[in-house]
Amino acid sequence: MEAWILTALLIATAGAHGSNNGAFLFSMLKAGMGGKDKTLALVVALGTVAGTVLEGWKMNYAIILGGYLEPGTLALAVAVTFSAMAAGSALSKPISYSHVLTLSLIGVAMAQNVYPSIITLLLLGLAWVGGAFVAGLLTALLHAAGRRLFSRLDLLSLDAVNRASLYAIGVSMSYSIAANNIGVISSLIPLAGWPLSHLLLSAAWILGFLVFGRSIRDILAERVIRYSPQQGISSGLASSLTMLLFLNLSIPTSLTHYLLASALISTMGSPHLIGWGTLRRIVAAWILGSLASLLLSYILALLSTP
């Protein structure tokens, strides 16, 4: 019974992740290139399925915790994660799923006297803090190099080239977020392995994105930041590369975290383009949601221990 409950919670969490972070990714693409909603949604969906199935198997929650947990214990962490993601979607606040899930898993593990290693904690800090600066630096370098190349080829004014490039980047970003984020919850499913579990969760993610993610889709395009197609290409590619780097270390990371850091750095010369009030609220929701998830999952696991 516990295995079925955990599986149902994981499917619901994948849907909540799609409605929250998937919609946030959609808004990032729309802010950079506009375009038809159906085309953008198809781009995101294709990248999601490909990333989950082809590289999602690289993620394993046991590497983070230093051991495996019982389905009932895992279900507590997943329930906390789902609640946070659902609340974020209802309030139109993007939640850092990777931070919430990882800290929830660590919380229930600590209640069971299972602790992550020092190396794992250092890697998490490097991914969550250092990764944002790596993505920002890569964005600046790629943007500068791209402008030189495109100006020499006289392509900066060609809307078709910019749009095609951003569609490709859209696939890349959804591929990265699916391989990392959906991959890690696929490793928690006790009733099925690869590729069935990965296909099931990617389908749930896409359903959540298409049906329940409308309230967040325009938050970036309208209220957070506005940037050129070239800046969108640079920040998207840099964020995807950074996320894939930590994918190979089995460290959950946040694409939205990297995207915002990259977009901010690429527009620092034009601070009037940034919606600072909305940005502060998003960051506050990330931090408070992550810390609350750690504490809540730890308390629930303690209370449920015989």
Where are the chain's structural domains? 2-304
| Cβ atoms of residues 241 and 172 within 8 Å | no
User: What does the pLDDT read at residue 213?
Assistant: 63
In the predicted structure, residue 20 carries a pLDDT above the cut 90: no
User: What does the pLDDT read at residue 153?
Assistant: 60
Q: In the numeric block, which tokens belong to residue 258?
A: 């990297």
User: What does the pLDDT read at residue 262?
Assistant: 76
In the predicted structure, residue 46 carries a pLDDT above the cut 60: yes
User: What does the pLDDT read at residue 261?
Assistant: 77
User: What does the pLDDT read at residue 79?
Assistant: 94
**CA–CA separation, 113 vs 120, rounded Å?**
16
Q: pLDDT confidence of 107, banded at 50, 70, 90?
A: very high
Per-residue burial over 192-223, b = 16 or more CB atoms within 10 Å of its CB, e = otherwise: eeeeebbbbbbbbbbbbbbebbeebbebbbeb
Mean pLDDT throughout 254-281?
Answer: 66
User: What does the pLDDT read at residue 206?
Assistant: 92
Which tops the pLDDT comparison, 270 or 288?
A: 288
Q: pLDDT confidence of 42, banded at 50, 70, 90?
A: confident
CA angle (137, 162, 259) in 5-degree steps: 35
Mean pLDDT throughout 192-207?
Answer: 89
User: What does the pLDDT read at residue 29?
Assistant: 72
User: What does the pLDDT read at residue 205?
Assistant: 93
